[in-house]
Amino acid sequence: MWKSRLFTPGPTPVPDEILLEMAKPLIHHRTPQFRKILAECFNGLKELFQTKEDVMILTSSGTGAMEAAISNLLSPGEKCLVVEGGKFGERFREIAVAYGAGVTTLPVEWGKSATPSEIEAALKKEPDIKVVFTTLCETSTGTHTDVKGIGEIIRHRPDTLLAVDGISSLGAVECRTDEWGVDVMISASQKAFMLPPGLAFISLSPKAWEKSAKTKTPRYYFDLSAYRKAAAKEDTPYTPALTLIIGLAGVLKMLKTEGIENVWKRHYLLAEATRQAVKALGLQLLAEHPSNAVTAVRAPEEIDAEALTKALRDSSGITFAGGQGKLKGKIFRIAHLGWVDQYEILQAIAALELQLLKMGYALQPGAGVGAAEKVFLE
């Protein structure tokens, strides 16, 4: 017998009280009762995004908000720069190409991150770039990007916007949308928000709203001006995913009680314990600048990472994520994202140790757990 435990970078575990709240009989969405819940969500999202602007709630997974960013901000033929250091940078490029934008890619070796000076050089070469797309945590490689530094480069350019995919990291790692000069910030429900998949969130700066009013790309369901107009009346333009929004109000309250800076600290501690544990087992991290949302670990030469994650899932109910794209079979990823505490990290590391031992990898039993405990003690 074992219990099922998720250590994947989405979906992530949902707190029991939130599941129970979402299991209550439905209410109607055009009612004062629901408007009150929606108003709480809009306020809580502003705090989490660290923005004064509206954060709009879309009924879609995170990719829907990525698509909304592109269709609202780029007219066909307009240029954008996409930082591509993994699966999700790739996705921004694919969407931009699908919408007929002119795409310049800034290729980044998987596991590394783009630097502000690389962005600056790319913008110097092509000053007519309208939007720079980057990813706060490139989930496929567990890599953190210096969005603050990139914001410093872009905020002084009147005709260039910075759009950030914070889908796997907003609510887990420090992220200050307004202060850092982020024009478009995107996230989704199934990661640090501790909810099931189905909601995406997006905020636009005044500069981005101005650009969106001039953008000629046809759009309807993801025309963000409709969401903004409705939000001003504590409403949504279409039938919202009521159940998830009721859950959202609950998790935002939990996060507010913990305090956003404490939430970031908790994720740092969980991530640091995971990093020290895998290093103590003689394993290597993939990321040069690891994110506190997810840790990508290179599998030992002799072990196939896919076989390792499958065996863990089948024999202990512990689910890690495998590698994506060209990293398939080479890495596994341990997420410490959302509703996760120190004891769960110790369980994950203990299960990893046992599985590696079963697969013939030589390690000192308890070495990883001990290293993680040391971080928690300090």
Sole binder of ligand PLP in the list 15, 39, 42, 61 (CB under 6 A)? 61
Region near ligand PLP per CB under 6 A, out of 50-58, 147-155, 164-172, 217-225: 164-172
Closest CA to 113 of 152, 147, 79: 147
In the shown chain, the binding pattern of residues 197 to 216 toward ligand PLP, with x for contact by CB under 6 A and - for none, equals x-------------------
- Does position 295 bind ligand PLP by CB under 6 A? no
Which one of residues 40, 41, 58, 62 is an interface residue with ligand PLP (CB under 6 A)?
Answer: 62
Which member of 135, 143, 187, 205 binds ligand PLP (CB under 6 A)? 135
Nearer to ligand PLP, 53 or 165 (CB): 165
Shortest gap between Cβ of 250 and ligand PLP (angstroms)? 20
Pick from 96, 188, 297, 371 the residue near ligand PLP by CB under 6 A.
188
Residue 150 binds ligand PLP, judged by CB under 6 A: no
CA distances from 291 to 120, 141, 177 (A): 23, 9, 18
Residue among 123, 167, 241, 337 that touches ligand PLP (CB under 6 A): 167
With contacts defined by CB under 6 A, name the span among 26-34, 113-121, 165-173, 327-335 that binds ligand PLP.
165-173
Dihedral (Cα; 34, 36, 40, 46), 10-degree rounding: 90
Contact present, 184 and 208 (Cβ < 8 Å): yes
Q: Provide, for the chain, the percentages of residues in helix, strand and coil under a 3-state DSSP scheme, each rounded to the nearest 5.
A: 45, 20, 40
Q: Which is nearer to ligand PLP, 34 or 339 (CB)?
A: 339
Q: In what order do the strands lie in the sheet with 284-285?
A: 284-285, 294-298, 331-335, 321-322
Quick one: DSSP state of residue 10?
A: S
Q: Total residues contacting ligand PLP (rule CB under 6 A)? A: 14
Per-residue binding letters, 69-108, with ligand PLP (x by CB under 6 A): -------------------x--x-----------------
Whether residue 346 contacts residue 369, with contact meaning beta carbons closer than 8 Å, is answered with yes
CA atoms of 206 and 339, how far apart (whole Å): 33
Strands 5-6 and 318-319: parallel
Q: Which of 349, 354, 331 is nearest to 285 (CA)?
A: 331
Burial of 364 (0-12, 13-18, 19+ CB in 10 A): exposed
Binding to ligand PLP by residue 141, rule CB under 6 A?
A: no
User: Residue 188 Cβ, how far from ligand PLP at the closest point, in Å?
Assistant: 4
Question: What DSSP assignment string belongs to 141-191?
Answer: TTEE--HHHHHHHHTT-TT-EEEEE-TTTBTTB---TTTTT-SEEEEETTS
**Binds ligand PLP (CB under 6 A): choice among 54, 67, 165, 373:** 165
| Residues 9 to 28 in contact with ligand PLP, rule: CB under 6 A | 9-10
Site residues (CB under 6 A) for ligand PLP?
9-10, 61-63, 88, 91, 135, 139, 165, 167-168, 188, 197
